[in-house]
Amino acid sequence: MLPDLHRTKEDLNLWLKAFFAARLKTHMGAFGESPKETLQEGHGTAIVRPDGTVDRTSMRRASGESTVRNESIKAGDLGAVLKSLDEAAQQMGRQIAAHAYKEISDAADRVGNTVSTNGFTADGFLAALEVILVPFTKDGEPIWPQCHIPPSLAESAKTALETVANDPTYARRFAELKQEKRKEWDAREAGRRLAG
Amino acid sequence: MLERLVEGWLDSASERSYQSPFCQALLAKGHRVIHSTRHAPLELGKDVVSIDSEGRYFGYQLKGSPGARLTLTEFRTIREQLHELATQPLRVPGSRVPRHTSVLVTNGYVDEEVQIAIQEMNQALRRQRAIGYPLKIIQRGDLLDDFLKLGASLWPSELEDLDTLLRLLNVHGRDALNISDFASLMEQLLALNDSASRPSQGELERRVTSASLLVAFVLRAHAREENHVARLQAWTLFFVQVVGAYARWNHKPRSRIGAALDIARYECFRSIRELFEEAASRERWIEQPATADVFLYRWREALTSGLLSAYWLIGQRAGGLSEEDSARLREVIPERLQVDLWGEAAIPQLLGKL
């Protein structure tokens, strides 16, 4: 073999892997912030709902491909290596995010939580909030869900949210909705049975 | 503990790995080693040729059967080589063609069936008055006895030294040799440390043999990966420290030490030669994983180029390099190096290239 430094290279490789993981997290968008768990065995996960239904999620492959030219390695061009890793992370991140959105969409369709509107409107926004469970903190503050909007709807979403915040009619409807959600949450908490 | 470690080493050593320690053991037993090489057509079937203190010649064929048995099936595959070993004369200077004893050396166990086959082969060799009759066997137990008696029994065995030794052994073969640990053990063994008292001539000779076995032992993992540079470093350090020990204690090296140094020199040249062959055969000098190699490529290029340049320079001065090799070396060594002066150790490599 030609001269090499195995242990040093292992450390450097760990650093490159950490870089890749960080870039993957960025390219997964909001899903990059979601908690992660390693599956030690099996081929998927399952959620058992309170009504006894089982929601299964299978494993999906996400892959990315990129090229580093030999010349870049020879020249010690770290920038080229990092750019290549970032490209692969971007491809994988997009696949994972697209898959996650599809799973959420399918799950919402299955339980009838889908609200169809013509664009992002104030009415559509309130209608969407009506069909979802909103948890509350011990101090009574609502924990609102994240809202993911494609770039094409960004402007109309901004206008709709301003309407909900500033228009007295919508603001009142929103306040009522918040109280309703609080009642729903309290009822749910009161009805919980302790395990064991 | 050292015994178990040596046993472990022998049971994993290839014939290449234990050839040098075997030669050093022969020297310690009063033999002169007059030939030691591999795959050289000049000495048919003989990896090593030696003469003992009574002037008797021996031709050895080394086989690697690490930790295993030499079975009858395997024996049949080497039978032709053994026949050559026993029937072809040694080529030695002078007009006399000496008779020799043929020896099959293996670091494995020899099956009983093989021993019977060798007895039968010996009867045939005796009938035909073969020049290399009889054919004898040196097997795992014999080698282990020699290596323990001549080598490990003198190795430093304080707890701290064992710790250093284990650290040297517990490496990946693709890693560089830990020169600091290696040098510290050798210094103790060759009485080069500050607290050492003057060894007698005989004692220093025994220590040199022991040190040479330590070199092969420490290179166990590197040998598996064919880490030419680690091997070169270890044998170079051995060479320098043996010379240093003789200078320090004002002993005159006798021929046995000269021969031990010759073996070390041979190992150095064999390592650098193999590095050259590998560098020449490779389209690229990138080692996997390639992405992490972005940090190390220039270091490897400078080091390899420096060593090959030194090899070329020595070849030019000593005249041991053929025209063809010289031309190939010039092709292999990159014309322009991308200089990374990462530390003072890089300077000789760059100067070597210049």
Express each pLDDT in B166-221 by its tens digit.
899 999 999 999 999 999 999 999 999 988 899 999 999 999 989 999 999 999 99
Contacts of B223 (CB under 8 A, 6+ apart): B13, B14, B16, B17, B173, B216, B231
Q: Exposure of A127 by Cβ count < 10 A (0-12 exposed, 13-18 middle, 19+ buried)?
A: middle
- How far is the alpha carbon of B219 from chain A, nearest alpha carbon, in Å? 14
Contacts of A69 (CB under 8 A, 6+ apart): A80
Task: Name the closest residue on chain A to residue B274, using Cα atoms.
Answer: A1
Tokens of A68: 């580093």
- How far is the alpha carbon of A19 from chain B, nearest alpha carbon, in Å? 12
Tokens of A105: 């969409």
Average of per-residue pLDDT across B2-21: 85
Tell me the CA distances in angstroms from A48 to A51, A131, A133, B198, B248, one per residue in order: 8, 20, 17, 80, 80
Task: Name the closest residue on chain A to residue B222, using Cα atoms.
Answer: A1
Average of per-residue pLDDT across B232-252: 95
User: With pLDDT > 90 as the criterion, what percentage of chain B qualifies?
Assistant: 48
Smallest CA-to-CA distance from B242 within B197, B268, B219, B210 is with B210
The span from the CA of A167 to the CA of B218, in Å, is: 81
A152 touches chain B (CB under 8 A): no
Average of per-residue pLDDT across A160-187: 94
CB-CB neighbors (< 8 A) of A69 in chain B: none
CB contact under 8 A, B301 and A78: no
Confidence of residue B277 (pLDDT cuts 50, 70, 90): very high
CB-CB neighbors (< 8 A) of B296 in chain A: 4-5, 8-9, 12
A82 touches chain B (CB under 8 A): no
Helix (H) or strand (E) holding A119, with range, is none
Residue among B285, B294, B301 whose CB faces A81 most closely? B294
pLDDT at A173: 95
Q: Which amino acid is at B104?
A: L
Q: What is the pLDDT of residues A68-113, one digit of tens each?
A: 999 999 999 999 999 999 999 999 999 999 999 998 888 888 878 8
Average of per-residue pLDDT across A44-62: 85
Confidence of residue B339 (pLDDT cuts 50, 70, 90): low
The span from the CA of B17 to the CA of B1, in Å, is: 21
Average of per-residue pLDDT across A159-171: 94
Say if residues B225 and B174 touch (Cβ distance below 8 Å). yes
Task: Name the closest residue on chain A to residue B176, using Cα atoms.
Answer: A5
Contacts of B240 (CB under 8 A, 6+ apart): none
Say if residues B297 and B353 touch (Cβ distance below 8 Å). no
Helices (H) and strands (E) in chain B, counts: 14, 7
- Name the residue with higher pLDDT: B5 or B353: B5
- Name the residue with higher pLDDT: A122 or B43: A122
Say if residues A114 and A127 touch (Cβ distance below 8 Å). no
pLDDT at B39: 44
Smallest CA-to-CA distance from A148 within A11, A2, A32, A12 is with A32
Q: What is the pLDDT of residues B25-64, one digit of tens each?
A: 998 899 988 887 754 445 556 789 999 999 999 999 998 8
Residue among A7, A73, A78 whose CB faces B286 most closely? A73
The span from the CA of B25 to the CA of B2, in Å, is: 18
Radius of gyration from C-alpha coordinates of chain A:
23
Average of per-residue pLDDT across B328-332: 88
CB A1: neighbour CB atoms within 10 A?
Answer: 17
pLDDT at B125: 92
B-contacting residues in A 87-126 (Cβ below 8 Å): none
Least confidently predicted of A140-154, B7-21, B41-55, B214-228: B41-55
Smallest CA-to-CA distance from B174 within B213, B223, B218 is with B223
Q: Which residue shows structure tokens 């290839």?
A: B14
Q: Which amino acid is at B158?
A: E
DSSP state of B338: -
Q: Whole-model pTM? A: 0.78
pLDDT, chain A, mean: 90
CB B270: neighbour CB atoms within 10 A?
Answer: 19
pLDDT at B94: 67
Residue among B174, B228, B291 whose CB faces A68 most closely? B291
- What pairing do the DSSP bridges indicate for beta strands B48-51 and B32-36? antiparallel
pLDDT at B158: 73
pLDDT at B337: 66
B110, β-bridge pairs? B70
Tell me the CA distances in angstroms from B266 to A49, A175, B272, B310, one per residue in order: 75, 90, 10, 16
CB contact under 8 A, A85 and B291: yes
